[in-house]
Amino acid sequence: MLTVCLLTDPQNCHDEAYTFESHGSLSACMYEAVPYIAEWAGNHPKVKVTKWHCEYPGANGESL
């Protein structure tokens, strides 16, 4: 899960779901995610990623 904010309005932030396959723990995911998040950010130049976290699929009650 990414939290992103508009560059033109830094107070306007929202969460953005982002999925990639990690082959380790949630802690390992935090390190493995960095290049994927950088690529995502490069493809979305109007927003800035301010934070992210890893979670297991279905952790927030969404269906798989």
Domain spans of the chain?
2-52
pLDDT of amino acid 20: 80
- State the Cα–Cα distance between residues 2 and 28, nearest whole angstrom: 16
For the full predicted model, state whether its pTM sits above 0.95.
Answer: no
Distance CA 28, CA 62 (A): 23
Token pair for 37: 């998040």
Q: Where are the beta strands (DSSP E) in the chain?
A: 2-6, 13-16, 47-52
> Tokens 């990639």 correspond to what residue?
20
The 3-state DSSP class for residue 33 equals coil
What is the pLDDT confidence band of residue 61, given thresholds at 50, 70 and 90? Answer: low
* Mean pLDDT rounded to a whole number for the chain: 88
* pLDDT band at residue 13 using 50, 70 and 90 as cut-offs: very high
